Structure 1
Amino acid sequence: MSADLTWLLIKNNNSYLVKRSGVQFSSEAGNLLNKNSFKYSGLANKKTVDVAAAPSGRGVVVSTKVTSVPAYKPSKGLNKVTLSKGVRKSARSVAGLTRSGYRADLRQAALARVSAVLNSQKPVKAAPKKTGNGIRATKH
């Protein structure tokens, strides 16, 4: 089935569609911006890029759709790579993957998603205890 026909069938009703306050979002895998649009749809497009947190809690998993897999083998339809070397190396790998002709239009969104996932995995620094400098701060 063509991508355009698939999009026409699923754009208004699917199980991943979230409608709130007049805005439509989509929570499917392969949708980098979670927008309900044909460009970012992980269901309608034959080539998709998905960036998610690694199950180990360190790094990201980058998934791409394999276009040559038959429809009756959905488990073999994704190519998953775990990137855990750091922010710069992960970003470089994702940029190279999207720039190489796979989905160059999703490069910025994929890089933003990698950055957001890796930043969310950083430990939270404890805020230093505030000390007062005035006269009342030194009185007990």
Structure 2
Amino acid sequence: MSSDIAWQIIRNNSSFLKTRKNVPKKFSTEKFNLMSVNSQRFNGLINDKAIDIQITGDGKSLKISTKSKQVQKPASSVHTTTVRGNNPRAALRKVARIAKGYKSVAGQPAQRRASQLLRSLKTHKSTKKTGKAE
């Protein structure tokens, strides 16, 4: 089925749709949707080639999943790469290199998403002082 027909079917009827109070835009929580926006451009269910970036279970690195079109073998159509988050610049370069082979719309959002996730991996020192004031 073409992606246009699939989009017409699922655009208003998807279990991944989320709405916010006083916000007219609909959001989506499906995998391979980098922007979390319910639009045909960023939808991970209908696009043949897509990228997803998540934090791994240990919370120290990024998991980059890429989807390619293999209709006969859907289980092998997703490839996963792990990138350590200890060097954020190198991790962003790797994300850019992976996203370059995919859609041109995935490059900028993939780097933005990776940057946000890398920032969340940082540990912040507490500035609150404990003890008695002198």
Q: Could you tell me the TM-score, scaled by structure 2's length?
A: 0.87
Distance 2:103 2:26 in 1: 23
Q: Note the aligned Cα RMSD (angstroms).
A: 1.7
Q: Which amino acid in the other structure matches residue 56 of structure 1?
A: D
The structure 1 segments of at least 4 consecutive aligned residues displaced by more than 6 Å after TM superposition are none
Q: What is the letter of the counterpart of residue 5 of structure 1?
A: I
2:91 equivalent in structure 1: 90
- The sequence identity of aligned pairs, in percent, is 35
1:42 alignment partner, SS class: coil
Q: Name structure 1 gaps, 5 residues minimum.
A: 131-136
**Aligned partners of 2:70, 2:55: CA distance in 1, in Å?**
26
- Which whole-Å CA distance do the structure 2 matches of 1:9 and 1:107 have between them? 27
Residue of structure 2 in register with 1:42 after alignment: 44
TM-score normalised to structure 1 length: 0.84
Structure 2 SS opposite 1:52: strand
Task: Please name the residue that 1:3 is paired with.
Answer: 3
1:74 Cα deviation from its structure 2 partner: 3.2
Distance in 2 between residues matched to 1:8 and 1:19, nearest whole Å: 19
Q: 1:53 aligns with which of 49, 55, 63?
A: 55
Question: What secondary structure is seen at the aligned counterpart in 2 of 1:60?
Answer: strand
**Structure with bigger gyration radius:** 1
Equivalent position of 1:99 in the other structure:
100
- Number of residue pairs the alignment of both structures matches: 129
